[in-house]
A and B are shown apart, each in its own frame.
Chain A
Amino acid sequence: MLEIRNVSKIYGEGTAKVVALNNVSLQVNSGDFIAIMGPSGSGKSTLLNVIGGLDYPSSGEVILDGKRIDNLDENALVVVRRGKVAYVFQQYHLLPSLTALENVLLPLIFCGANGGGGKAMDILKRVGLEKRAGHKPSELSGGEQQRVAIARALVNEPSLILADEPTGNMDRKTGGEILGLFDQLNKEGHSIIMVTHDREIARHAKEIIVLQDGQIVGKINSEGGGDKC
């Protein structure tokens, strides 16, 4: 469903030039659960942003469902974000003035859909937060905020979920619960690409891709709980 061909991303020019991604190619199939690992500054987040059309590659192609999205203009990318791809961020990125339920509704509002309250509530139930629906992000714990963010990602029924260090701000127990949620979503058929620097977390994925200095230096099939990294 997703193919990345020889993607490079270069920031700055001349001596200030930073190569964030260097000729990266990757194939993601429907139902995949891929973890992108690597040290800080290895280009993990940049790769995720380029995959989802949040950032433009300097060269190379990003093909989603048979269509190039790396050369789309902003208006066309909106369509991609409204249906095919959804994001979960380390900092949750919820709107502080809206309640949990309203945050989940947000993608539907931008889609121009009326109502949707029932659907949003169902999804909040799925992530176990129906009792906190009327609370604002400031009244929720980190784990709860991330559940809201996941529910928001699910409301448009995306085929691909992109998660950038989704458990980075959590203790192990809470992080484990969130990862369990991702496992479950993957079982239900959602494709997931998750960026992390934690090997334990990466083991939840079916495939691990190791990035270093903007290049893929290893691909590990982790199914079966192998610990070869």
Chain B
Amino acid sequence: MKLYRIVLKDIVRRKKRVLFAALGVAIGTMTVVGVLTIAFAGQARIYNQLEKYGPNLAVMPAISNVDTHLGDLSLGTLAVGENYIPEEKLPQIRQIADGEIKAALGITDEGDIATIAPKLYINTEVKGTSMMVVGVEPEEESKIKTWWKIQEGKYIERSDEVLVGAVAAKLLSLNIGDTVELKGSAVTVTGILEETGSNDDYQIFVPLETLQKAFGKEGLISSMDIRALCNACPVEVIANAINQNITGVRAIAVKQVAEAEMGVMERMNKFMLALGGITLAVGLFGVVNTMMSSVNERIKDIGIMRAVGASRNQIMRVFIYEAIIIGIVGGIFGYLAGTLLAYIVGPIIFEGTNINFVLKYLPLSLALAILVAVIATLYPALRATRIRVADSFRSL
């Protein structure tokens, strides 16, 4: 039999006390694991979106709305008129985008490289409900929205066909073959999209020309998506070049948005981790307290061990072993509770984020919990080693 077995047997006898100490450790590790798990999911989501939209740029009219302020108070945004981009700017934009990509990748070929998908957004009544109808170039749009899947019917080809988002189809109870009136012109539903979890679900997609004609917006578009050839393409450079050379439009690289979002999240994570650290420190004091009373209630046991030949080091080890076990129990609890916390709180913080347990945080949680428990035990254990045998029996 070894020393640790004595400790184990004693812990079994005093399980409530040990569990209490373990909970003190668990609360701190729970916070840390929870924060890390949520952060991990949030980052995974941003990376995921970067991979999906990374090579994209969005081009919008330069002034589409005005921020209204009163002193430092923001009163929201005010849309000023109807802002459109004339279609004739499209070739210029293409020239810049292709030129930058070719320059960056050393391509000398002639021909188009970037995909440019212009869009016209019109808010109108469809079957008595206010809907967002989007005019698109079918072929270009499908190259940008690579994740689109047709749930029913087929993709739009002809000018009198429409594609309906999953939620919109349900809302308007539209089926394949139904006819829809768009300000006088009739179009037929040929396809319904699978749910994407984005705005697309609520929109109706019509060929651009059809929509332009129906609403008298010939030659005008609301925005355009540009998809560069590759993830490594210089999207920021393209965005800058467009902003500098073409008046009346504003280009934004998705990557920049994602990076900004990532920065905000990292700052938030740091803050939450600091909170976790404080919780850990508070838990540490709780464990010091519990271990202190554990020493006090075992003065007699310590005296017995000393009387039958235990050295001060061995008494120290008894308490350190106990701390390690408290740390293991607390670390496991902390990991489980932290993961649970992430599952509950994560979707509230990052809407639509799928939280997954992160197994690599289990050893981290264990290490953290053991460290805290051992640190918290050092002083009480040191006091235990100073107990004199004769004193320990006299106090009874």
| Chain A residues proximal to chain B, CB less than 8 Å | 49, 54-55, 74-75, 78, 81-82, 86-87, 89, 91, 93-98, 102, 105-107, 109-111, 117, 152, 156
Contacts and interface: CB of A to CB of B under 8 A. Distances in A.
Contacts of A74: 311-312
A152 B390 contact: no
Interface of B: 1-3, 6, 9-10, 12-14, 300-301, 303-312, 314, 388-390, 393, 396
Contacts of B306: 81
Contact of A97 (B3, B10, B396): B10
A110 B308 contact: yes
Contacts of A87: 307-308
A120 B87 CA distance: 97
A95 B6 contact: yes
Nearest to A92: B304
B6 A98 contact: yes
B238 to A, nearest CB: 73
A109 B14 CA distance: 21
A89 B390 CA distance: 12
A145 B213 CA distance: 103
Nearest to A99: B9
A78 B307 contact: no
B307 A110 contact: no
| Secondary structure dominating the interface of B | helix
A173 B306 CA distance: 31
A93 B303 contact: yes
A109 B12 CA distance: 19
Nearest to A73: B312
Give 9 nearest A-B pairs by CB, closest first: A55-B390, A82-B309, A97-B13, A110-B309, A97-B9, A97-B10, A54-B389, A54-B390, A78-B311
B307 to A, nearest CB: 5
Contact of B1 (A86, A95, A102, A111): A102
Contact of B310 (A96, A97, A110, A152): A110
B283 to A, nearest CB: 26
Interface centre among B304, B306, B309, B396 (most CB of A within 10 A): B309
Contacts of B310: 78, 110
Contacts of A110: 3, 305, 308-311, 314
Contacts of B309: 78, 81-82, 107, 110-111, 156
B9 A152 contact: no
A91 B305 CA distance: 14
A78 B309 CA distance: 5
A21 B12 CA distance: 42
Contacts of B304: 93-95
A75 B308 contact: no
Contacts of A94: 304
A117 B5 CA distance: 14
Nearest to B303: A93
Contacts of A98: 6, 9
6 contacts: A49-B390, A54-B307, A55-B389, A74-B311, A74-B312, A95-B301
Contacts of B389: 49, 54-55
